[in-house]
Amino acid sequence: MTFQLLQKDPNTQARLGLLQTPHGMIETPIFMPVGTHATVKGMRVDELKGMGAQIILGNTYHLYLRPGHQLIRELGGLHRFMNWSGPILTDSGGYQVFSLSKMCKVSNEGVTFQSHLDGSSHLLTPELAIQIQETLGSDIMMVLDECLPYPVEKSQVAKSLDLTVAWAKRCLQAKTNPDNLLFAIVQGGVFPDLRQECFSKLREIDSFNGFALGGLSVGEPMELAYEIVERANSYLPSEKPRYLMGVGMPEDLITCIGHGIDMFDCVVPTRSARHGLLFTTHGRLYIQHAQFTRDGRPIDEKCACYTCQKYSRAYLRHLSLSKEILSAILNTIHNLHYFLNLLGEARFAIREGNFSSFQKEFFKQIQEGEVSVAPKN
């Protein structure tokens, strides 16, 4: 079996599982650091392993445009290229096509887009998306799908849904390596009936190794996203892993684990770190605030990461205001440690049968914490 469901929490839908990949076993629920350009920004791979990262995410769109998937294959594949021996999940590139390209045109064949790097024209088809990911040597590949913005008319979502299902089938047919896992993506916007319809059509194909919920965290209220995730628990198969794409605030992770999600990825911890936004057991902290000028305490006194063990808030504020490279590095170490440790605590709580209590305590600490939050701008 590719995925083994080990345990369920008695009071929530939280699940503990094992996912087998060509480059090793993953214990779920798990957070996947994002390595867009074959690197998690500011991090060495030994540091990632040391803080408990089990799997990282690579970006098909960016690696296709630069340096090119064929070049990466010549150099031994993505794992060797970036010196990461663990599992790698790659997205299909569809989201980046729609969000980054200067111009794109969707057809049944695929999506024609202009590179954000040089304006060159490309056609991304389901077949090419799979070819790129197989060439990179991905452990878990994603089908090509159409990701719509929010808000959007229901009729347009319904039309897009059919295209996503047709592309998913072509991705499955294009797959040549039986070792690579392939996940389907359930679309349908914020319309629960369309979400279930999309899954039902994908389920008829019935050869995917897992299912992802895509098209969330694109501007919709998180309450709507939570509703979609909670309802999906009723129809997503329990014997396959469930991946919530691009959703990654700590509150979102803990909420959605309780709704049965197994896998998460997001740029939140790394991108926030570069802007001085840090996550703690008592909420968010914006390190540039003047209140930290003479603060000799670590970011989080409960944190065991390298940054918290070695540096003060005052020093980290100085680095951030000075725009030093070390600021981004130390902040990223802390944020990723926080996220990975949080998911480790969630797994332990599920194993002990008390995730519900863990969830309540987590939100209590966040609500009662006195922290400085980043400006809204």
The CA angle 200-160-88, to the nearest 5 degrees, is 70
Q: How far is CA 251 from CA 7, 171, 200, in A?
A: 22, 33, 29
Q: 242 φ, ψ to 5°?
A: -120, 125
Active site residue 91: yes
Strand ranges (DSSP E) for 161-319?
181-186, 210-213, 242-244, 263-265, 277-280, 283-286
Cα–Cα distance for residue pair 302/316, rounded to 1 Å: 17
91, 139, 145, 252: the active-site residue: 91
9, 139, 252, 265: the active-site residue: 265
Cα–Cα distance for residue pair 8/13, rounded to 1 Å: 7
| SS3 state at 50 | helix
Closest CA relative to residue 41, chosen from 225, 239, 275, 224: 275
Cα–Cα distance for residue pair 266/57, rounded to 1 Å: 9
Q: How far is CA 94 from CA 52, 125, 128, 161, 369, in A?
A: 29, 10, 11, 14, 39
Active site residue 118: no
Active-site annotation, residues: 91, 265
